[in-house]
Amino acid sequence: MNPTNQKKNHKVVFALTERDGKTHWTRVGVAWPNRDGSLTLQLDAIPVSGKLQVREPQERDEVGWEPRKRPNFDLPSQLTGSD
């Protein structure tokens, strides 16, 4: 299978975690179907819950995804050595 077909046929892998009575979904990798119907998984993280979901990608999974922004804390000049 060529890379173009792999990109079109890929799936998204999520880890499911139960907290506060809710299920939280975290994207942890991708999957590609093999000729025999099995899947090859490429995980970027190992879920501690042990529960995974393999889903068809949605538009939101493919376009404009960025990690959460971290707050920008300015350190006092005494700690950075700058005036």
Query: Quick check: is 7 in a domain?
Result: yes
What pLDDT does residue 49 have? 78
Residue 55 has pLDDT above 60, yes or no: yes
Q: What is the mean pLDDT of the chain?
A: 76
Note down the domain range covering 51: 1-55
Query: Quick check: is 62 in a domain?
Result: no
CB within 8 Å of 30: residues ≥ 6 apart: 10, 11, 12, 13, 41, 42
Longest dimension (CA), the chain: 65
Residue 32 has pLDDT above 70, yes or no: yes
Confidence of residue 52 (pLDDT cuts 50, 70, 90): very high
Residue 73 has pLDDT above 80, yes or no: no
Order of strands across the sheet with 22-33? 39-43, 22-33, 11-19, 52-55
Query: Quick check: is 17 in a domain?
Result: yes
Query: Quick check: is 82 in a domain?
Result: no
Query: Quick check: is 15 in a domain?
Result: yes
Nearest CA among 5, 58, 61 for reference residue 33: 5
